[in-house]
C-alpha cells in the first residue's frame, strides 16, 4: 500500500473516531438531562398535590394582572412589572446547562426583531430542574451574554414551584395550566414515560414541568398562552407577533 493510501485510511479512521466521540457526548448529555428530570420528579411527586393546591388557592387569581407583581433584580432590588405596562411579555424560566438552553439563541433573535414593536422577554433563571443552573447570578448573566449575546432583562435565580416559588409564578400557573408537550417533538414520548413513572397524576397539575416553559402576556397584562419547552420556537414567535 502506498504512503498516500495509508494516510487516507488513517484520516478516515480519525474522522470516524471524532464523529463517534461527538455522538457519544450528545447521548451522554441527553441521558444526564433525563436522569435529572427523573430524580426531580421522584422527589416532588409526593408533594405534588400540596404544591398544586398552593398554586390554586394561595392568591386571589381573578383580581390580578401581571403588572401587580414584582421580581428581584440581580442587584437584590425589587422591580415592579408595571415598568412594562402596555407591553407584550414573554416570561421564561431558564437554565444554563439544559438540553433546551440553545433556545436562548431564538429568544434573542425574537427580541431583536420585535422589541421595537413592544415585546419584552423576562428571563428568570431557575435551578429546580435537574440542578441545571448551578451558577451565581453573575455567572449566569456572563454565560448568557458571552454564549448567546442576550440583551433582554434577566432577574435573580428563583424557584417557580413549591414552597418558595415566586408569587408571580403562583399566579401564572393559575391562569394557564399544563396542556401537554408538543406531539411532534422527539423527546415528548421519553418525557411522558418518565413523568408517568414518577407521578401518574402529573398531567393534571399546573406546576412547571421543566426549563424554558414560557408564558405569553398581552398588553392588558393577561396570560394568553403557555408554551412548554418542547413547543417549536417558530410557533412561539408567531403567537407573539399575532398580539403585538
Enumerate the active-site residues: 98
The residue behind cell 421543566 is: 210
**CA 108 – CA 111 distance, rounded (Å):** 5
- Provide the CA 218 distance to its chain's centre, in angstroms: 20
Cα–Cα distance for residue pair 131/163, rounded to 1 Å: 17
CA pair distance 114, 21, nearest whole angstrom: 39
Question: Any alpha helices (H) in the chain, and if so which ranges?
Answer: 3-45, 48-57, 103-114, 137-148, 167-175, 188-198, 233-243
d(CA 169, CA 210): 14
CA nearest to 91, candidates 139, 145, 150, 153: 153
Name the 3-class secondary structure at 34.
helix
Alpha carbon of 66 to those of 82, 120, 218, 221: distances in Å?
Answer: 8, 13, 10, 5
Are the beta carbons of 127 and 97 closer than 8 angstroms?
Answer: no
Amino acid at each position: 500500500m502506498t504512503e498516500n493510501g495509508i494516510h487516507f485510511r488513517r484520516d478516515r479512521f480519525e474522522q470516524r473516531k471524532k464523529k463517534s466521540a461527538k455522538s457519544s457526548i450528545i447521548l451522554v448529555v441527553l441521558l444526564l438531562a433525563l436522569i435529572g428530570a427523573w430524580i426531580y420528579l421522584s422527589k416532588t411527586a409526593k408533594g405534588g398535590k400540596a404544591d398544586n393546591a398552593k398554586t390554586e388557592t394561595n392568591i386571589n387569581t381573578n383580581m390580578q394582572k401581571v403588572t401587580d407583581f414584582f421580581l428581584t433584580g440581580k442587584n437584590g432590588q425589587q422591580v415592579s412589572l408595571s415598568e412594562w405596562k402596555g407591553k407584550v411579555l414573554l416570561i421564561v424560566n431558564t437554565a444554563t446547562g439544559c438540553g433546551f438552553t440553545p433556545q436562548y439563541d431564538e429568544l434573542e433573535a425574537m427580541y431583536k426583531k420585535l422589541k421595537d414593536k413592544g415585546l419584552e422577554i423576562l428571563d428568570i433563571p431557575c435551578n429546580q430542574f435537574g440542578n441545571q443552573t448551578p451558577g451565581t447570578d453573575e455567572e449566569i448573566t456572563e454565560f448568557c451574554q458571552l454564549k448567546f449575546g442576550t440583551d433582554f432583562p434577566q432577574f435573580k435565580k428563583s424557584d417557580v414551584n413549591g414552597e418558595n416559588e415566586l408569587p408571580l409564578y403562583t399566579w401564572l400557573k393559575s391562569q394557564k395550566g399544563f396542556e401537554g408537550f408538543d406531539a411532534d417533538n422527539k423527546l415528548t414520548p421519553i418525557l411522558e414515560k418518565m413523568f408517568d413513572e414518577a407521578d401518574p397524576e402529573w398531567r393534571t397539575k399546573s406546576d412547571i414541568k421543566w426549563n424554558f416553559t414560557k408564558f405569553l402576556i398581552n398588553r392588558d397584562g393577561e396570560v394568553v398562552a403557555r408554551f412548554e419547552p418542547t413547543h417549536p420556537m417558530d410557533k412561539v414567535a408567531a403567537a407573539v407577533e399575532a398580539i403585538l
